[in-house]
Amino acid sequence: MQSLDDIAAQLQGYDPQALSVEGVHSFLRAMVQPLQTTESVPLVEALGRVLAEAIVSPLDVPAHDNSAMDGYAFSGQALHAGQTLTLHLAGTALAGQAGAQPLAAGQCLKVMTGAVLPAGLDTVVPQELVRADGGQIHIPANCVRQGDNRRLRGEDVAQGSVALQAGRALTPACVGLIASLGLAQVNVVRRLRVAYFSTGDEILSLGDAPREGAVYDSNRYTVRGMLQNMGMDCIDLGVVPDDPQALQAAFRNAAACADAIITSGGVSVGEADHTKAMMRNLAHSETPGEGGVAFWRIAMRPGRPMAVGRMGPVPLFGLPGNPVAVMVTFLAFVRPALWRMAGARDDDPHLQTPLLQARSSEAIRKKAGRTEYQRVRVSLASDGRLQVQTTGQQGSGVLSSMVQANGLMVLEHERGDVAVGDTVQVMMFAGLL
Ligand code: AMP
Ligand code: MG
């Protein structure tokens, strides 16, 4: 395992007090490694899991050339441009029946969708396009071409081909595809166990009586929700007060039972912000050479104070305390890092979050030199383009701005102020939250 110092040394312009969002991504890609433990699970439990090995198809899907329509199958060679074709009906083939015998020239077969096409029949005319007259079928001129409405054997998945690559996070479509190959079990990477706790003397748990100066813990619930959406195993370690002893015990406990640790609060420069110091000391003393805290300030808003480090092999994500900052830093950094640990490929189409382009409906002040995330409502303007509007107060503690939003506006590092009508990038919540 590379030490954190080694990783930092390879990073251009590394500054633990002001790392760019891109720098954080590079650091995390080097710091977190995929789990190696795999297990076989029934397909019905495989949704959201990550494939541990490629799935090579044991068969052709579909298994035979077959009809894509209810209609009449015939040899397309008999078609001539501009001419009606009249064929003699030789029988009927339903889906699920074994293939019929080949036909003689001038004959056709009535077929239902999915029926096997006998050798020589390569074209299907939909039944609503023909005129049936006793045993004669009249196909009007120019209504089909040779090869129309036929599904070819193996056109979806060919026997021996890679149907899904290792590292795919299984979506409903993936699970369906695996089922179409007749496979009832799949090998997946072990589920990631993620422990999390909130820190702060002022944080109340649900059930505690309200008291002056205190706030109810929302971070454990947003974090848990985002972890559950990813199908991770969640270990809730509660609220830990701003007390070095209690924090130390919580970190040790978390590192003993989890693959990754997420905390919130205590990483800024407040007097009671012990989490960062504790992470640093503990990570160093428990696992000299391997552990440590790599950086603690990111050039972004919200989410500037954030500590990232490692206790032995276990990554630590010390998120800020403010509820919106927790969600934004989780989406920006923790989510991709955890997927990587869970064995997912960086280019998994399901896990990538493509940025859309939209027009800002308002002017926004933005400082160059940091990445900013605004909570926005994305909608379709009357000219058919996407437009975005911020959702009220953008303070990093205002969770309702997240509730009303359907996406995050991402204002890049170098960018300055945004004027009304400027094009901006948006990350949609669909699939993320
Ligand atoms: P801190 O980073 O610990 O100074 O916290 C920053 C702000 O976030 C403070 O106003 C905290 O009260 C608030 N905060 C910290 N943790 C939580 C939490 N778990 N739930 C809600 N608010 C929190
Ligand atoms: Mg605090």
The domain locations on the chain are 4-37+190-341, 42-61+155-189, 66-151, 356-428
Give the pLDDT confidence score for residue 4 in this predicted structure: 87
Give the pLDDT confidence score for residue 352 in this predicted structure: 84
Give the pLDDT confidence score for residue 105 in this predicted structure: 96
Fold of 4-37+190-341: Molybdenum Cofactor Biosythetic Enzyme; Chain A (3.40.980)
CATH code linked to domain 66-151 = 2.170.190.11
Task: Specify the residue with its C-alpha closest to ligand 1, atom 17.
Answer: 321
Biggest CA pair distance of the chain: 93
Bridge partners (DSSP) of residue 273 are: none
Give the pLDDT confidence score for residue 288 in this predicted structure: 64
Ligand 1 centroid to residue 246 C-alpha, Å: 17
User: pTM of the full predicted structure?
Assistant: 0.93
Which residue type does 14 have? Y
- Atom of ligand 1 lying closest to residue 217 CA: 20
pLDDT 10s digits, 261-318: 999 999 988 877 888 888 878 777 766 666 788 878 899 999 889 999 998 889 999 9
Candidates 196, 203, 242, 275: which one to mutate for ligand 1, based on the most atoms within 8 Å of Cβ?
A: 203
Given a cut of 70, the residues of the chain with pLDDT beneath it are 286-290
Taking alpha carbons only, the member of 335, 329, 327 closest to residue 353 is 335
Ligand 1 centroid to residue 183 C-alpha, Å: 48
Calpha distance 389→377 (Å, rounded): 5
Residue 309's alpha-carbon distances to 22, 32, 150, 233, in angstroms, are: 17, 10, 57, 21
Q: For domain 356-428, give the CATH superfamily.
A: MoeA, C-terminal, domain IV (2.40.340.10)
Give the pLDDT confidence score for residue 312 in this predicted structure: 84
Bridge partners (DSSP) of residue 371 are: 300
Between β-strands 314-319 and 407-411, what pairing exists: parallel, antiparallel or unpaired? unpaired
Give the pLDDT confidence score for residue 12 in this predicted structure: 84
Calpha distance 48→44 (Å, rounded): 11
Q: What is the DSSP string of 20-46?
A: -HHHHHHHHHHH------EEEEEGGG-
**Residues in the ligand 1 pocket, defined by CB under 6 Å:** 198, 200, 202-203, 215, 217-219, 264-266, 268, 270, 273, 320-323, 397
Give the pLDDT confidence score for residue 165 in this predicted structure: 97
Calpha distance 127→110 (Å, rounded): 9
Give the pLDDT confidence score for residue 274 in this predicted structure: 82
Give the pLDDT confidence score for residue 289 in this predicted structure: 63
Q: Which CATH class is domain 42-61+155-189?
A: alpha beta
